[in-house]
Amino acid sequence: MMLKSELNRMDDLTRRQLIAKTAKAALGVTLLPIGSQLARGAATAAAGGKAKHVIYLYMAGGMSHIDTWDPKTGDTKGPTDPIKTKASGMMLGGTMTKMAQQADKISIIRSMSSKTGVHDQGNYLMHTGYDPRGTIIHPTMGAWGTHFLGRMSKTLPDSVIVNASGGAGAGFFPPAFSPIPITNPAVGLQNIQPTTADSNFKKRLDLMNEFDAGFRKKFQSAEIKAYSDFYDETLSLMKSEDLKAFDLTKEDAATRAKYGTGSFGQGCLLARRLVEHGVRFIEVQTGGWDMHNNIDTAMGTTGAGMDNTFAALLEDLASKGLLESTLVVMGSEFGRTPNINENAGRDHYPKVYSTVFAGGGVKGGFVYGASDEGGREVADKQVTVQDYLSTVGYAMGLPVDEVVMSPSNRPFTVGDKGKPILELFA
């Protein structure tokens, strides 16, 4: 035991580290909130915590704010004129014709601001709330959810990421918290059935473990252990009754067509199925947003496709009564330059951009914050990426101010000490 005086001599952080150690837990030890503004109970009891599920729509490449959620009429106007929507006073970019009809379901934050105009860093930040560092990988929101709330389904994974693989994933949490990557939603989860009889499959597994025992004993690295965990995880998933959640052929042709036949449309349909079967956090990515050239054409394809799919998803969730318990969030690493460049496109612009929230207890037809006339600067209520992710965490009922120690004994919180935007919630 350490002497009390010594304990007092240590600075605050080291003392917390020591407490964390003596708590005997190796991973993701939870400490009491420090400087607590929102206790866990308060978060769940108030408007937050209604989002049992989250669908994160990630627009890779940097979605132009002016051509989508924050339209302008002056000299920075894009190729289309802003249009009126079902929500009074809320205007949208001219391509967002179908979302205009769903505007009563969404909240827009028009005063997002970050410092990084680089895809890699921006992407990491919009998923973790932290800048990338060479010394640690931070968890993404789904992994935070699993950490605080436990697994939702016994056999299905807690997080799924569609149209992407890699990324920060579980961060410093156990690899089993990683989202399952589905790189092609149309085929879903492939190879789910063993190609041999169950009894023989078991023999194969036993044989594998016997042959591999020496190697695993010699190399006890986290990487090897993670692989072994994935084998366990996969075996339990193979027994799941809910695997049809991944099978889009169970949907009728009209529904599949309505969402859009591309990977984003099918990905969002898959997300809805996963929500129905008890998956907590589903991210669906789509690219094509790095519109440095000919933004007119690009918005006509990528923009219109997103508009169609997003609207179909909201409509579908609402009609199935899932929108109250499902938060749909749309984000991107940054916005795009207000000025159209010489290639009729727009370049990277982190200074001000927009994100969208729908369902999960947030208001409809609501706009939070504003950019200035040209969409160049934040004019009102600046929102950081940390605030944004804390808001998502708040909606999920996560204790966003609770400090969690990484295995390397460094303190982290959901959304890196951002402040949830409470005004967004109904």
Partner 1 sequence: MKPSKALILSIGCLVLATAVAKAEDAATTARTWTDSKGRQVTATFVGLQGDTISIQTAAGQIFNLPLTTFSAEDQAYAKSAKPAVTYVAVNATVGQAAAAVDALVVKGLLAGRAKITKDNAAATLATDKRELPKPNPLMTDEQFVRRVYIDIAGRIPNYDEAKGFLTDASPTKRAKLIDMLLDSPGYASNSYNYFAEMLRVKDRLEQDNLRGVDYITWMQKQIAENRPWNEMVYDMVTAKGKMWHNGAAGYLLRDGGMPLDNLANTLTVFLGTDVACAQCHDHPFADWTQRQFFEMAAFFGASDTTNRAAGMKTRELSEAAVALAEKGGGDPQRIRNGISNFIRANNNEVVDSDKNRMKLPHDYKYKDGKPNEPVEPKFIMWDTKKDKGNPAFKQSKSKEEGLRESFAKWMTHPSNPRFAMSIANRMWKRAFGQGVAEPVTNIDDPEKASNPELLKHLASEMVRVKFDLKAFMRIVYNTQSYQREATSEEVKMGEPYYFQGPQLRRMTAEQAWDSYMTLVVGDADKFTKPLDSLYGRSVDLDLTNEKLDAKTVLMKYSAFQGMAAKERALMGGALGSDDMMMQSKKGKGKDAAPDMMMENASMSFDGMVLRRAAELEQPERGGHFLAEFGQSPRMLIDGGSKAGSVPQVLMLMNGKAQQMLTNSDSLLFKTMDKVNNPADKVEAVFLSVLSRKPTLAEKDIAKRGIESAGSDGFSNLIWALINTREFMFVQ
Q: Are 172 and 136 in contact (CB under 8 A)?
A: yes
Q: Are 51 and 396 in contact (CB under 8 A)?
A: yes
* Measured CA distances, 395 to 16, 76, 274, 317, 346 (Å): 28, 34, 19, 17, 33
Q: Exposure of 195 by Cβ count < 10 A (0-12 exposed, 13-18 middle, 19+ buried)?
A: exposed
Q: Closest approach of Cβ 245 to partner 1, in Å?
A: 14
- The residue within the footprint of partner 1, chosen from 208, 257, 422, 426 (CB under 8 A), is 208
Q: Closest approach of Cβ 357 to partner 1, in Å?
A: 26
Residues 52-71 that bind partner 1 (CB under 8 A): 60-61
Nearest to 391 by CA among 364, 366, 372, 416: 416
Q: Closest approach of Cβ 228 to partner 1, in Å?
A: 7
Q: Answer yes or no whether residue 79 interacts with partner 1 by CB under 8 A.
A: no
Q: Answer yes or no whether residue 216 interacts with partner 1 by CB under 8 A.
A: yes
CB nearer to partner 1: give 86 or 376. 376
To the nearest 10 degrees (0 to 180), the angle between helices 385-396 and 141-149 is 40
* Measured CA distances, 183 to 164, 286, 332, 346, 348 (Å): 6, 11, 19, 28, 26
Using the contact rule CB under 8 A, the part of the chain among 48-56, 146-154, 271-279, 294-302 near partner 1 is: 294-302
Q: Answer yes or no whether residue 293 interacts with partner 1 by CB under 8 A.
A: yes
Q: Answer yes or no whether residue 348 interacts with partner 1 by CB under 8 A.
A: yes
Residues 357-376 that bind partner 1 (CB under 8 A): 376
Q: Answer yes or no whether residue 339 interacts with partner 1 by CB under 8 A.
A: yes
CB nearer to partner 1: give 11 or 89. 11
CA angle 319, 93, 72 (to 5 degrees): 145
- The residue within the footprint of partner 1, chosen from 166, 198, 253, 321 (CB under 8 A), is 166
Q: Answer yes or no whether residue 37 interacts with partner 1 by CB under 8 A.
A: no
- The residue within the footprint of partner 1, chosen from 15, 42, 75, 115 (CB under 8 A), is 115
CA 234 to chain centre: 23
Whole-number Å distance between alpha carbons of 285 and 197 = 37
At 333, the amino acid letter reads E
Using the contact rule CB under 8 A, the part of the chain among 31-39, 85-93, 182-190, 379-387 near partner 1 is: 182-190
Residues 298-327 that bind partner 1 (CB under 8 A): 301
Q: Closest approach of Cβ 180 to partner 1, in Å?
A: 5
Using the contact rule CB under 8 A, the part of the chain among 73-81, 90-98, 199-207, 394-402 near partner 1 is: 199-207
Q: Which residues touch 9 (CB under 8 Å, ≥6 apart)?
A: none
Q: Closest approach of Cβ 335 to partner 1, in Å?
A: 12
CB nearer to partner 1: give 206 or 241. 206
Q: Answer yes or no whether residue 191 interacts with partner 1 by CB under 8 A.
A: yes
To the nearest 10 degrees (0 to 180), the angle between helices 222-238 and 198-218 is 170
* Range list of β-strands (E), 277-406: 281-286, 326-332, 335-336, 348-349, 353-359, 366-368, 370-371, 378-380, 404-405
Residues 118-137 that bind partner 1 (CB under 8 A): 118-121, 123, 133-137
CA 204 to chain centre: 37
Q: Answer yes or no whether residue 175 interacts with partner 1 by CB under 8 A.
A: yes
CB nearer to partner 1: give 5 or 221. 221
CB nearer to partner 1: give 36 or 234. 234
3-class DSSP assignment, residue 342:
coil
Site size with partner 1, rule: CB under 8 A: 90
CB nearer to partner 1: give 208 or 426. 208
H or E segment to which residue 108 belongs: strand 106-112
CB nearer to partner 1: give 32 or 205. 205
Whole-number Å distance between alpha carbons of 249 and 6 = 64
Q: Answer yes or no whether residue 350 interacts with partner 1 by CB under 8 A.
A: yes
Q: Answer yes or no whether residue 8 interacts with partner 1 by CB under 8 A.
A: no
